[in-house]
Amino acid sequence: MASSDIRGVIREYLQDRFMIGKSPASLSDMDPLLEKGILDSTGVLELVGFIEETFSFSVEDEELVPDNLGSVENLVRYVARKAGHGVHN
Amino acid sequence: MCGIAGYVAFDGSMPPRETIERMLAALRHRGPDGFGIYYGERCVLGHARLSIIDLEGGWQPIFNEKRDVAVTFNGEIYNYIELRKELEADGHRFYTNSDTEVIVHAYEKWGTACPERFNGQFAFAIHDDRDRTLFLCRDRLGVRPVYHARAGNIFFFASEVKALNASGLVPLEPSMEGLHQIFTLWTNVSPRTPFSDVFELPPAHGMVVSPRGTGTKRYWSLPIGRKEALSPGECVEGLKAHIERSVRLRLRADVPVGAYLSGGLDSSLTAAFTRRCTSTPLKTFSLEFEDPRFDESEYQGEMARILGTEHSSIRVGTEEIAVHFPEAIRAAERPLLRTAPVPMLLLSRLVRSEGYKVVITGEGADEFLLGYDIFKETKVREYCSRRPESRLRPLLLRRLYPYLFPDSRTARFQEAFFLKGYTETTDPFYGHRLRFDQAKRIRDFYSRETASRLHEDPESVLLQAMPHGFSDLSPIERTQVVEIETLLSSYLLSSQGDRVAMANSVEGRFVFLDHELIEFVSRIEPDRKMAGLREKAILKEVGRGMIPARILERKKFPYRAPDIESFQNTAAGRRILDEALDPVGMETFGLFDVDKVQALAAKVSSVARRNGRVTTSDNLVLMGVLSGQIFHKIFFGPSVPAEGFHPHDRVRRIVRGTAKGEDEWLRATSEG
């Protein structure tokens, strides 16, 4: 999957599950999901479940850090790396 | 302990006589033992009575010697014996043994400053014929409620909003700003309520209503900022003496007094002091939960055994919480973002069914002696802001909220979440920032029309209501003041206290809300109250030797009940939820956006089906919508005509006559 597709899938998921009632434009790819109030620490587990299921890899405990999952941009990079894809723009 | 209601019409345009009967009948749950009414020339004072002190002589309204000052009163003046002696020495004559009578004479002597002399929990209305004024007053912490509204030239007051409405002259309309405050802050900033043009008299305030106008004045303020260098021994001994004095005062009643036991430190201590201060058998009452995550029965049983009390408990199931939720909203007269008031409603029902009317209880210790986790959280966040490089940081953070985050996988995210905005220590709501921000999510679910009608920012309103000197306090003290000024009075004591207890005619007596005790602990440095991260450190020292170490050193176990899951995971709960989220009902109310709410409900329901955990913010939003819709249906749905008295009711009427002789001046008749 190309990174643009990964980005699309992740953004759609976040919109659908955590941004009900918010406009997609209210979140940029660089925005920190915790500080913007999109995710809380319970929501992170939900997000992890989705990533594991959708991209068919398991998220290790030590990878559960904001550097990997804290913004759309970080998520795209992390998923691309874990799923064994380079970044093709 | 009772309900009060009444009205004044300065232009003499009094409503029909039955008006007060309907108002009092709407307060029947607060005072089922009899109704008393005084019909004056331009005022009517009414009283629904739950007899606790002076069982035969305590009929209200009560008058002074000349019968030109009358009072209707809900609550207790615990120091009435001492005050009576003082007033009698001053020449005042009494005709009952009740605490109520002290109020009229104290008013004669000290005027509207009289509440400064009272130690108690009270709401009362005094009518003074001499200068045709009504004086409405409420206790320092707001244990007892009183609301008011105007209809033309008539000023109405009552213990509950439903009684104002039962007059037939105060129609209820939702206040969007009032509702928005509740959804954001969990509660209203007094005097606002969720009803348009219906106001609450704020705690520690007196209000004078006269033909010349209306004025409201605060007679007591939370002592803040004044600290003294008390030694640890002085703190412990002083607190112990105040608790004992407070308990002794609160045991003044002509009916047996019971005690709540939650299994935690505060109620174990108040029950232990109660045991120590009375020679009669003591009865204790507890709540057990089917869901082991919330249950504390093991500790309750242990404490009851140690104190040798006769113990009764009620076991509350998850489905039961859902089923009784609308009843709790009817009692609280506001949307509830938590289900925690429901079990308290069921507990007071148990107390009543066992023949008790009064219970000693431990609320307030967490606020005044720093028990809540929010205080630890504030302390840790502030520490991190001062020592960002500290190696203790992750360790401290992980000591917070182990019960909320049993899954250690997300520890790093929890840290990031709790450190949000942690350097902003000058934020007036530094301690509440995370909660307030989380609650803002509900705004995304308002309908477009609602959003366009909201002009107030609840946080700014709250900030304006904070006492003088608030901004100079440390973050932990500011957090404490916010907890006391908002959540304690308007949520905990009301929705989880007075309303759900009085719904079953039970009066709670709050040992830690004695104002002299509060004034004493306010002099103690916060670092003594919370030593390191050891909450209520002084209180634990007081309890040493009185209650077992196992209970004394237990980690604070917050009183909670399952929220949205009570509705998602049970058949009866799902029916209530589906009905509340029905598009037609939602369109009628118009507060929320139907499509957005339904999308969220579908998401939460899919999480529940997969046995996942509903996120905190989804839970809050859905609880807000659910309780908002139930609130709308109860208070703004098709109206049922208000009932009057029943044929078997005991009613005592006192009518101001025309004869001038003192004995004939008032004509009393009794019925029933």
Per-residue DSSP letters for B475-532? HHHHHHHHIIIIIIIIIITIIIIIHHHHTTT-EEEEGGG-HHHHHHHTTS-HHHHSBT
Residue B405 and residue A43: Cβ atoms within 8 Å?
no
Identify whether residues B236 and B94 lie together within a single domain: no
Contacts of B422 in chain A (CB under 8 A): none
Nearest-angstrom CA–CA distance, B601 and B623: 11
Q: Is B482 exposed, middle or buried (0-12, 13-18, 19+ CB in 10 A)?
A: buried
Q: CATH code at B135? A: 3.60.20.10
Where is pLDDT greater, at B637 or B415? B637
Confirm or reject contact between A23 and chain B (CB < 8 A): no
Question: Is 50 exceeded by the pLDDT of residue B664?
Answer: no
Identify whether residues B138 and B39 lie together within a single domain: yes
| φ, ψ dihedrals at B671, nearest 5° | -125, 160
Dmax over CA atoms of chain B, in Å, equals 84
- Percent of chain B at pLDDT > 70 equals 96
**Residue B327 pLDDT level (bands cut at 50, 70, 90):** very high
Least Cα separation, residue B146 to chain A (angstroms): 37
pLDDT tens digits along B384-395 = 899 888 877 777
Q: Average of pLDDT values for B63-82?
A: 94
Contacts of B612 in chain A (CB under 8 A): 45-46, 49
Q: CATH code at A51? A: 1.10.1200.10
- The residue of chain A with its CA nearest to that of B618 is A18
- Consecutive H or E run containing B78: none
What is the domain extent for residue A11? 3-82
In a domain, B434, yes or no: no
Identify whether residues B660 and B591 lie together within a single domain: no
In a domain, A29, yes or no: yes
Q: Which of A15, A41, A62 to mutate: most B Cβ within 10 Å? A: A41
Residue A64 and residue B412: Cβ atoms within 8 Å?
yes
Using DSSP, state whether B97 is helix, strand or coil.
coil
Q: Average of pLDDT values for A12-27?
A: 93
Where is pLDDT greater, at B282 or B418? B282
For residue B251, count other CB atoms closer than 10 A to its CB: 17
Residue A46 and residue B607: Cβ atoms within 8 Å?
yes
In a domain, B188, yes or no: no
- What is the DSSP code string of B225-239? S------HHHHHHHH
Contacts of B413 in chain A (CB under 8 A): 34, 39, 41, 44, 64-66, 69
Least Cα separation, residue B482 to chain A (angstroms): 22
In a domain, A47, yes or no: yes
Q: Average of pLDDT values for B640-658?
A: 85
Identify whether residues B665 and B595 lie together within a single domain: no
- Note if B2 is an active site residue: yes
Q: Average of pLDDT values for B601-619?
A: 85
Starting at the earlier edge strand, list the strands of the sheet with B62-63.
B62-63, B69-77, B120-128, B133-138, B205-210, B213-218
Residue B598: partners with Cβ closer than 8 Å, 6 or more residues away? B581, B583
Q: Which residue has the tokens 């949520």?
A: B491
Residue B616 and residue A44: Cβ atoms within 8 Å?
no
Which residue in B416, B444, B614 is closest to A66 by CB distance? B416
Identify whether residues B33 and B123 lie together within a single domain: yes
Confirm or reject contact between A16 and chain B (CB < 8 A): yes
Question: Is 80 exceeded by the pLDDT of residue B351?
Answer: yes
Residue A35 and residue B420: Cβ atoms within 8 Å?
yes
Question: Is 80 exceeded by the pLDDT of residue B540?
Answer: yes
Q: CATH code at B357? A: 3.40.50.620
pLDDT of residue B334: 96
Residue A66 and residue B412: Cβ atoms within 8 Å?
yes
What is the domain extent for residue B570? 564-636
Where is pLDDT greater, at B595 or B493? B595
In a domain, B209, yes or no: no
Nearest-angstrom CA–CA distance, B115 and B382: 39
Domain count, chain B: 3
In a domain, A88, yes or no: no
Identify whether residues B661 and B618 lie together within a single domain: no
Question: Is 70 exceeded by the pLDDT of residue B507?
Answer: yes
Identify whether residues B100 and B249 lie together within a single domain: no
Starting at the earlier edge strand, list the strands of the sheet with B358-361.
B310-316, B283-289, B257-260, B358-361, B507-510
Identify whether residues B334 and B286 lie together within a single domain: yes
Residue B414 and residue A69: Cβ atoms within 8 Å?
no
In a domain, A87, yes or no: no
Identify whether residues B136 and B256 lie together within a single domain: no
**Could you give the angle at which helices A41-55 and A3-18 cross, rounded to 10 degrees?**
140
Contacts of B420 in chain A (CB under 8 A): 34-35
**Residue A13 pLDDT level (bands cut at 50, 70, 90):** very high
In a domain, A89, yes or no: no
Domain count, chain A: 1
Instruction: Give yes or no for a contact between B418 and B410, defined as CB atoms under 8 angstroms apart.
Output: no
pLDDT of residue B661: 38
Confirm or reject contact between A40 and chain B (CB < 8 A): yes
Last residue of one domain, picked from the residues B552, B580, B599: B552
Last residue of one domain, picked from the residues B552, B579, B603: B552
pLDDT tens digits along B211-263 = 999 999 999 999 887 788 899 999 999 999 999 999 999 998 878 899 999 99
Which residue in A21, A37, A64 is closest to B410 by CB distance? A64
